[in-house]
Amino acid sequence: MTIFAGLLTAAVAIDPGGYIGRYYIDNHNNGPFFQQTNPDLSEGDHFIDLGAFGANTGFGFHVDASGNVTGITPSVAATAVGASLTFANANVTVDPNGLTGAYFITPYTHDPFTDLHTFVLVPGIEYVVDDGAFIGGSAFGFTVLDATGQVVAVTSAAATGVGSTLQLNPVAFTIDPGGYTGDYGVSPFGETLFHGLNHFALMPLLAYALDDSAFVGGSGFPFQVPAGGGTLRLPNVVITVDPLGGYAGNYAISTNGPFSGISPVVVITGLVTNLRIGDAAAYFTPTATGRTPAQVTVSGVTFALSLASPGQLLSTLLASGQVANAGVAQSLSNAFVHAATLADYQKLQAKIDHQLTLGLITQTAHDALTAEINALIAGL
């Protein structure tokens, strides 16, 4: 026992037992600890938190004038003998139940889990499960009742407590990129990228995040998975990229490309993306009504960025060989001019699909024209 500046302190042996997650003593600056530690603690009240720093994510205890540990609250969380404090342990299994991607649990938030896993946890404590987005609404809590590991007080329909098992309740969820042919990331998969239409099993009523693969500020947005599942359709806009000054080399828009010359490119509306030559990049944001900035310069080459009307888009596609001939381009241009209702645009989409099948337009032209139709439908 030691006296510092009039304060009595005692060495307290803190033993987490079979629990191998992190813990903190009194505040988030004192930790994390992962094994037994023997801190000098002053007489008075203290607490241990398992990393979430919520209202019930830890337990309290008292160190008396003799250095003994008393007053553990909740009492099921630990036991004390003299100046020794030992965590109670409970085995709790998390069953992902078909979940795609990872889940995270508070004592191990740096470790993604994807399979059935049994954790040694501390009873009487609330834990937090996050879907990997780590944003507001992306997590829910549950409590381990006692040493049997019974899971109670699950705070979301995203999971159910079944005895000592936390069973996740994923629902079918589809991401439809529309005409966007670049890659995108979804929060439970880190920076793993996806392409085209993808089907997932995600936790309902939680917030996730999607990124257009730039992974910078403004290149992503949050979305919530409905209780019954559903589909997220990415908003598209077609921009025309024009390399100025006679540049004839290749370039890419994020992971989409390579392109050369004047090219129409389908991007995700409202998200920061980049134009790249090799490893060099410049960033811009396309919107439904414009792009910021209107020009970017990469490796000494300046590119003009503009939104394309259907007629301008078809002219660009024809000039770049993406449409078979002027007659096909004119026929599609006329169809765009006369389309005014949802039914009109649906017929136009069917026509574009048919021309792709006949080889009259390329896949690139099909995707760009589809994005143009979707943007026009959204404006009805």
Rg of the chain over Cα atoms, rounded to whole angstroms, equals 29
Instruction: Mark whether 161 and 257 lie in a shared domain.
Output: no
Res 264: pLDDT: 87
Residues facing 101 on adjacent strands: none
Res 313: pLDDT: 87
Res 8: pLDDT: 67
Q: What is the pTM of this model?
A: 0.84
The helix (run of H) or strand (run of E) holding residue 317 is: helix 310-319
CA–CA distance, 34 with 20 (Å, rounded to integer): 6
Res 287: pLDDT: 85
Instruction: Mark whether 128 and 62 lie in a shared domain.
Output: no
Distances in Å between the Cα of 195 and the Cα atoms of 3, 185, 349 are: 64, 9, 22
CA–CA distance, 208 with 188 (Å, rounded to integer): 8
- Contacts of residue 142, Cβ cutoff 8 Å, sequence gap at least 6: 126, 127, 129, 151, 152, 153, 154, 155, 159, 161, 166
Instruction: Mark whether 93 and 230 lie in a shared domain.
Output: yes
Res 364: pLDDT: 81
**Segments forming the whole domain that contains residue 268:** 235-307
Nearest C-alpha neighbor of 174 from the set 147, 132, 210 = 210
Instruction: Mark whether 69 and 136 lie in a shared domain.
Output: no
Q: What is the pLDDT along the chain (380 residues), one digit of tens a residue?
A: 444 444 568 899 999 999 999 999 999 999 999 999 999 999 999 999 998 898 899 999 999 989 999 999 999 999 999 999 999 999 999 999 999 999 999 898 778 999 999 999 999 999 999 999 999 999 999 999 999 999 999 999 999 999 999 999 999 999 999 888 899 999 999 889 999 999 999 999 999 999 999 999 999 999 999 999 999 999 888 899 999 998 999 999 999 989 999 888 989 999 999 999 999 999 999 987 777 899 999 999 999 998 878 988 898 888 888 899 999 999 999 999 999 999 999 999 999 999 999 999 998 889 889 888 988 887 78
Instruction: Mark whether 81 and 40 lie in a shared domain.
Output: yes
> Tell me, what DSSP letter sits at residue 153?
-
Instruction: Mark whether 194 and 227 lie in a shared domain.
Output: yes
Q: Which of 250, 272, 307 is at the close of a domain? A: 307
Per the listing, tokens 């389908």 go with 266
Q: Which of 234, 251, 274 is at the close of a domain? A: 234
Instruction: Mark whether 312 and 268 lie in a shared domain.
Output: no
Res 236: pLDDT: 86
Instruction: Mark whether 106 and 82 lie in a shared domain.
Output: no
Q: What is the CATH number of the domain that holds 61?
A: 2.60.40
Instruction: Mark whether 199 and 299 lie in a shared domain.
Output: no
Instruction: Mark whether 250 and 361 lie in a shared domain.
Output: no
> Tell me, what DSSP letter sits at residue 308?
P
Structure tokens at 279: 């490893």
Residues facing 313 on adjacent strands: none
Per the listing, tokens 């970017």 go with 296
Q: Which of 40, 64, 87 is at the close of a domain? A: 87
Total domain count, the chain = 4
Per the listing, tokens 């009240």 go with 45
Res 3: pLDDT: 44
40-42 and 13-15 beta bridge pairing: unpaired
Instruction: Mark whether 62 and 193 lie in a shared domain.
Output: no
Instruction: Mark whether 160 and 219 lie in a shared domain.
Output: yes
